[in-house]
Structure 1
Amino acid sequence: MLDFDVAQARLAARARMPASQSDVSLHELPGRVLAQDLVAQLDLPPADNSAMDGYALRAADAATAHGTLPIQQRCFAGQAPDPLQAGHATRLFTGSLIPAGADTVVMQEDCHETDDHVTFEQVVQAGRHIRRRGEDMRRGHVILRRGTRLRAGHIAVLAAQGYAQAPVFTPLKIGILTTGDELITPGQPLPPAAIYNSNGPMLASLCRELGVADTLLRHARDTPQETETALAELVERCDLVLSVGGASVGEKDLVKPAIEALGGTLDLWRVRMKPGKPVALAELKGRPVVCLPGNPVSAFVVFSLLVSPLIRGLQGCRQVLPPTRRGILQTEHPLGSEREEFIRIQAQTAGSGLPALVPHQQQSSGALSSLSWSHGLARIPAGSRVEAGAEVTWYAFADWLQ
């Protein structure tokens, strides 16, 4: 069997940087991937300003005046203050510009004002409560790197720098193929021996959480013609195709022959992981096709750990493999098989230490409800017995599915 880490690396390596990009307005940027490095267009702050509501002064003046100074001016944010006269103070508010000649700000809680004079109730220390020009961002310095998936914090940086738009890679389009006579679209009457198709909606949702704005779903009954027709359409219209089930060697496993009939090549792997052993990577008309296990839990796990890095790479992201975390397993895990096991867990805060990882009581690949319950997957090394209280690696969905 193929080692899990090798399989993960192979899929991630298949990603090709997007070839096209476009300028997109700020409100359309969340979730998109930056196509160029961007530099600061101005210093931030653009000038020294007050970090507090208070009074600007020369610290030495407070000492020589025995702690009381006349107020020269009241200056709000957005107003330009006059240069500070010797032996005076200027009333400021958060964000107000520091007048020329002042070297400190005393916050209003440490003083009181009477008859246009301010008295300082504590020793004044020079340099306090001033935000210096450029201390946050310097003009000409890189502020955001190519390959960054843009979130609200990045949008704030761009807006503060005056960017009304930014260059981003063209969005990825993913096709999803489900197969099987037994699968029925949710909302339709359920015949005997049939089940609802949960894989299609689940995978489409997982793709959207990764910033894929466009997914195309197709379902094929168990005939060679339907499977080949659906696959041909998805490959023609999408950048990446995910199929679920039907890629093994059973009588109704029709995805593999459909790929070959369309001129593609398929590399079928048996990955050393549980759940999710059967995985295939195909190349069809220059586009990758990943064949996932048909079991929804297995498909979810394989998507999370093996497919999501490939998608991030195809989107142009710099970091395709998110970090893993460490936690304390709360129950004993018996001697495992020859495969790496990925068990569904909830992570619970345990004081200031590592989180407590509580496994779902049902680890069967048929326990679909465990997916909505879990925070992530704890990794159990192949052939290992892990005692309760042992420290293990875990993959947080919050890291791997966004």
Structure 2
Amino acid sequence: MTASPVPADIVSLGDYERHARERLPASIWSYIAGAGADGLTRGWNREAFDRLKLEGRVLADMYGAHTAIELFGQTLEIPVIVAPVAFHKLAHPDGELATALGAAATGAVMTVSTQASTTIEDIGAAAQGPLWFQLYMQTRREDTLALLHRAEAAGCKAIMVTADAPVNGLRNEEQRAGFRLPEGIGAVNLKGMPGPALRAGPGESPVFKGLLDAAPTWRDLEWLRGRTKLPLLVKGVMSRHDARLALETGVDGIVVSNHGGRVLDTLPATIEALPAIADELGGRLPVLLDGGVRRGTDILKALALGANAVMIGQPILHGLAVAGAVGVAHILNILRAELEVAMALTGRPRLATIDRSVIATC
């Protein structure tokens, strides 16, 4: 396992992004940082957090303050989960193994992607901390079940179905850069599993005649619910109507996510969609959020508006690119320190005391 020292001028996640961009080849950066179409949703994810103001409080009793949370039977030291991101080896040769080590050093859950560049088995064998598995449902149900059973055998403690990318978004930055996966890096967990069969003729749509033929539906999610005893989450919920359907389908949690703006451009920011979804569920399901989280104050705002925890994806690759496992651990420790300071200065000693009154109305 290789690691580089963290540059002395890195004190925030933004610093990691700057250093990662300087170190990575332009084509790889276009993939890691890429967004759908014009990148509007990607930008809105950040801007929406920046527009929210906090109400500072003084002289609060902070005795016994902590950031721990109980989620799906697991105690997390901070309400931050490493999100599923494909191909960690694009950022560092140790790939997902380094991510797992860095996450474990801080007690954080790592969510392994179906499109990981390291096998589920190797990650599970090396992991010293808790793992979840993100599942893309496959064209054939037997392949979906094979991935599920491999994740269970590797020790994953929850299954997260990504539902918002039945087809890939058109990422123009990536297209312009001519990105291709380097030799030796690929979705190793999908070997031998066929994708959709294209049946479009000349002038016909490959999206509507092929790519969407096996796109999962709520019926498929209900089928999967009956195939595992692990907590089951659905990722990609941006509508209160879909939140209601998720509840009715019997899932154990949802992730409010617009895929980081990488699929459908001009979706609203996740933090803007969150309050209505949280209100619809009324605390009956845990709600996670990703998209644009870069500061501890962002975590505080997300919890105030109804999330139980947040997920961090792209910054993990920035940390990997700069300093391997050490960079991942440092990213998570920075967020923890920032969250603790934000809680102290808004008078919130525990996560349960964070509510919408944290958000300033002036």
Asked if TM exceeds 0.5, the reply is no
Q: TM-score, normalised by structure 2?
A: 0.24
TM-score normalised by the chain length of structure 1: 0.22
Higher-RCO chain (CA-CA 8 Å, sequence separation at least 6): 2
Structure number having the greater helix percentage: 2
